[in-house]
A and B are shown apart, each in its own frame.
Chain A
């Protein structure tokens, strides 16, 4: 049982890391702000979600699990707010693009 849980955790966290790396690569390599944002938010949220999922079985009790989920939710909420703001700022700065 514990072996199974461990395997699940490792797999999920590793998969999450892959998405993080993909997102970071996008941030560094994509040409303009909009696609960078796209790469960063989409891939990272999935990555963070997978990591949270992987850690859930290891959380200390219900409130620990709730806290992990809250972290994911807060990150989603804040980047949902910040992403459009950055995009708008980028468009204001370079109206041509």
Chain B
């Protein structure tokens, strides 16, 4: 309990400091620390799957994304800042936010006891999916539709980021050009880590069926293993016009939908798996989806194609 209190206190202080920070770089650094503390909180809440996702995506990829944005904005003329609200307005907003937080806190205390839960039905139906990890069971069977739609959302986000390409940059290499670092610490990390990272990602994907882990965590690690050499200037992303790149990010959702529709034809319900086939089908979907999501997540971090980099 004391450990939890300390954790909560640290989390709130870091969040507050990040929100109030004067410099964007400081704010982002604190935000990454916030993400790591949040990861610990997820472990304390017995949500190891969420903790891994938070560490990989919430703190890791988001942190890289925001840090990269800070660096790029620092070299560019900063946009004229909007007029900040005056002191009276700020106070009013603060009071409103405090009131919402207080109401929310009160409501958390007022939630019904014993808490309504779907843990029992999940436990009762998990054997039908041949999976050992209940979270994977929910993601891939009971609420597989959400996962499917989410993979479509990630793909759509890539389309949106590409759609922001400035005039003349269409079809080019995504992201800002990274300075090449032949040696130095980053180059070392970019060479040494990916083989290990790929093994770890595969492991996390494979155990995800029965233990904490799964496609999102694995995909985030794989994405990082691509981003690292990219940031070190060792690899150049393929141009967005590349057909194979587009197929890679689309194939995961396509296979997922195809298997779902096959379930509708054979079993009479979309995303229903034939008895005995649940686990192999889920593993097939997870493997292909991991590849698609990993590339899509990396492309989201890499960003919009630049006119300067067209080749």
Contact = CB atoms under 8 A, between A and B. Distances in A.
A89 to B, nearest CB: 9
Nearest to B189: A81
Contacts of B186: 81, 85
B184 A77 contact: no
A80 B186 CA distance: 9
B276 interface: no
Interface size class of B (residues with CB under 8 A): under 10
Contact of A85 (B185, B192, B193, B196): B185
7 contacts: A77-B192, A77-B193, A80-B188, A81-B186, A81-B188, A83-B185, A85-B185
Contacts of A74: 196
Chain A contact residues, majority secondary structure: helix
B184 A78 contact: no
A70 B200 CA distance: 11
A83 B186 CA distance: 10
Interface in B177-220: 184-186, 188-189, 192-193, 196
A78 B189 CA distance: 7
A85 to B, nearest CB: 6
Interface residues of A, number: 10
Contacts of A80: 185, 188
A81 B184 CA distance: 8
Interface of A: 70, 74, 77-78, 80-85
Which A-B residue pairs are the 4 nearest by beta carbons? Answer: A81-B189, A81-B185, A84-B185, A81-B186
A80 B155 CA distance: 35
Nearest to B184: A84
Given A70-B196, A81-B188, 8 more contacts: A74-B196, A77-B192, A78-B189, A80-B188, A81-B185, A81-B186, A81-B189, A83-B185
Interface string B220-255: 000000000000000000000000000000000000
Which of B185, B186, B192, B193 has the most A CB atoms < 10 Å from its CB? B185
A28 to B, nearest CB: 13
Contacts of B189: 77-78, 81
B55 to A, nearest CB: 13
A82 B186 CA distance: 7
A81 B189 CA distance: 6
A67 to B, nearest CB: 10
A14 to B, nearest CB: 16
B36 to A, nearest CB: 13
A87 to B, nearest CB: 10
Contacts of A70: 196
Contacts of A81: 185-186, 188-189
A85 B184 CA distance: 9
Contacts of B185: 80-85
Contacts of A77: 189, 192-193
